[in-house]
Structures are given as structure tokens and as C-alpha cells.
Amino acid sequence: MASETTQHLDETLDFLPKFDDDGLIPAIVIEASSGTLLMQAFVNLDALKTTLKTGYANFWSRSRQAYWQKGETSGNRLKIVDVLIDCDQDSICFMVEMEGVKAACHTGRQSCFYRKLSLNDDQSTQSSEISLSFNDMKPLFNPRDVYGS
């Protein structure tokens, strides 16, 4: 049975996000018209506010320790349709319309989720028990042409 505090959080209209120790919360991005999962990144409170203010997806880069607007280099921006938060307020979802050539991934593909996982049944190899394979998602642009080498 859910505690009274949990039930309150599940039903409240108070914005009480559960940012991690670095002040970040995961943000998944879904194309609104198709439901396609495009990417997952992180936002802090400032990136979230900028997203809501500008109407375009903004994130915090953990590797570069900097803000970035998706598509600022490639032109493949993500226009916000809706911003959702999950029941316990520890994950954000950006519902978006894609601009440009409609590629959300830096590899040139529509989605960052272009590889599938499966169990490796071949016990004769020393490789991992889990293997990767590509789905049929092909790049829509050449990353070298956009980002350089």
C-alpha cells in the first residue's frame, strides 16, 4: 500500500522534481506524431526552464559540463509540443516535433536507439552473453559533413 506521502506526490500539482546529487534529472524525448523514442539526455533546472521559455529542447551535457540546445549545430532542432513528468517526479519527457532532416542522433539517425540487444546463444565465444545488432534505421546525414572530423 502506498504511503500518504507517495500518494500525495502522485496526485499533486506541485512541481517537486527529484534531481540527483548533481542537480540533474533524465529527460526522454519522443516524437509526438509517431511516438518514436528519439533520445535520452539530462536536464537541470535551468535547462528545463530554458526549454519551457524557448519552446525548444535544451539539455545539460555531463561530458562537456555545458548547456546545449539540441540541433544548434546540425539544424535538427526539437520543437516542444508537451513536457511531461512521471508519477514520482524523477524523470521528464519531452514530446517534440522534429525540424531539419529529422535526425535526433549525432550519428545522423532519426533516433539514438538504433541498436538492439539480444542474448548471445553461441557459448563457444568468449564474448559477452549479450550482443548488439543494428535495426534498419539508416543515417539521414553524414555526421562528418555537419560536425567535422
* In the chain, domain spans: 4-10+17-147
Percent of the chain with pLDDT over 90: 64
- Whole-structure pTM value: 0.85
3-class SS of residue 92: strand
Q: What is the pLDDT of residues 19-66, one digit of tens each?
A: 999 999 999 999 999 999 999 999 999 999 999 999 999 999 999 999
C-alpha of 112 from chain center:
8
pLDDT at position 129, please? 85
Domain 4-10+17-147 class in CATH? alpha beta
Q: What DSSP state is assigned to residue 56?
A: B
Q: What is the pLDDT of residues 72-81, one digit of tens each?
A: 888 999 999 9
Q: What is the rounded CA–CA span in Å between residue 122 and residue 6? A: 45
Q: What is the pLDDT of residues 80-127, one digit of tens each?
A: 999 999 999 999 999 999 999 999 999 999 999 999 999 887 666 556
Q: What is the rounded CA–CA span in Å between residue 75 and residue 40? A: 19
Q: Which residues contact 24 (CB under 8 A, 6 or more apart)?
A: 42, 43, 44, 60, 62
